[in-house]
Amino acid sequence: MNLSIIDVALRRGAGSTGPPPGPAVTALADWDPSDLSTLYQDGAMTVPVTASGDPVGAVADKSGNGFHLTQSESARRPVYRTSGGLHWLEFDGSGQYLSRASFAVPDTISVGQAFEVLSTPHLNSFSYIFTGSGEKFARRAQVAGQFRGTFFNNGLSVASRSASEAPVDWIDGAPHVFADVLDAGAGAVVQRVDGVQGWSKSGYTGLSMSDYTLLVGVNDFIAHPIEMKLYGMTVWTNPAETQAAEAKLAARARMAI
């Protein structure tokens, strides 16, 4: 698979319309709500998003690898919002989500999201999930009415993160950058928030399959939605690029880490 280089910003200036050039990340997939040229109102990607309040039926993958996120059901589409130079996809917690089937996932993979949690209607509200036949991994609320952001999996060679191992509720009126690093070479899964490691678990040996479906905003049963403002999401394969990827996501949310 061809991996393209995308620019990463350390922080976006107040008057800019997007992140300035910065350190490079080799992205497997990258979705950027601040780039209107990648947003469409329909799942077929024929009607562009042009204004705040438009529904989002598709987000084109900026990496060049074609992992576009789509939603064919109009009632399930998040909404594009912009205010004060910020751009985000707003999921209202009613079951709005985006998805990508046939996502080729390598053993070493990192998933980063910049978002503000508004509410978690269910203790298993999910910000994302990669799911396959008998195997899945995700970041979820863990506690009803809170967002602990714990790593959850089924079928992997490593334990999930418990609520007691994640004492902080990240529903605090501010955006945060969350990163899950699955590193088969190091034999561990690491969770990070705002550039700081908060949890790790050894014993990770990789994935038993490579073809997954990615869902953003719900779980694999199209249930347990989350209410959030999503400023960006990136998937990368080199753990050494984690800090650069986090900085890029932080720039989209206009925060410094």
Secondary element (H or E) of residue 252: helix 242-252
d(CA 150, CA 191): 8
pLDDT at position 111: 98
d(CA 11, CA 114): 13
Structure confidence by residue, pLDDT tens digits, 61-75:
999 999 999 999 999
d(CA 206, CA 203): 9
Q: What is the largest CA-CA distance in the chain?
A: 47
Residue 236: CB atoms within 10 Å:
27
Q: Extract the tokens encoding 72.
A: 């064919």
Provide the strand spans (E) within 133-226. 135-140, 150-154, 176-183, 188-193, 196-202, 211-216
Structure confidence by residue, pLDDT tens digits, 115-172:
999 999 988 899 999 999 889 999 999 998 999 999 999 999 999 999 999 999 999 9
pLDDT at position 13: 32
Give the bridge partners for 161, in sequence order. none
pLDDT at position 5: 39
Domains of the chain: 23-252 (2.60.120.200)
